[in-house]
Amino acid sequence: MNITLKPIATVKNSRTTPDDDHWAEIVSVIELTDNMPTEAFNNIADFSHLEVIFYFDKVKNDNIVFSGRPRGNPNYPLVGILGQRKKDRPNKIGLCTVELVAHNGRTITVKNLDAIDGTPILDIKPVFREFQAVGKIRQPQWVAALMKNYWQ
């Protein structure tokens, strides 16, 4: 099976390195690529939040480790790549729920996108309440410690 994906947009922001923390101050502009029509964004401003699927284009294939301690912290358990959200992934795909700040023609402005400047966007979907998790979300204790400064 051969899968080909084409970026639909590109991220523009002040973050040029994939640092792990302090993303809250980053405001990103997502601009449609030339092959995407402007009307792809029609009525997107009716939504407060979007899901952005992007490609970690700067990750090297030899960086992918299928099990390890998150952020290399010896206090965290060994966790498989599918049990964490690190950028070094088998298909180098990222997913983030963002707040839509503005829509202007071929661009949208968003907050809480943890993608660096120039990152290719593969897809954008509006957040529907009906697709959100049902019931209480469970996660291990180490996640709260790991994420403590992420959105600050």
pLDDT tens for residues 26-56? Answer: 999 999 999 999 999 999 999 999 999 999 9
In angstroms, what CA-CA distances link 82 with 41, 88, 113?
Answer: 31, 11, 20
Q: Specify the CATH superfamily of domain 9-146.
A: YaeB-like (2.40.30.70)
Predicted TM-score of the model (pTM) = 0.92
Mean pLDDT of 3-12: 97
77 falls in which pLDDT band (50, 70, 90)? very high
Q: What is the CA radius of gyration of the chain?
A: 16
User: How many residues make up the chain in this entry?
Assistant: 152
Say how far apart CA 8 and CA 32 lie, in whole Å: 6
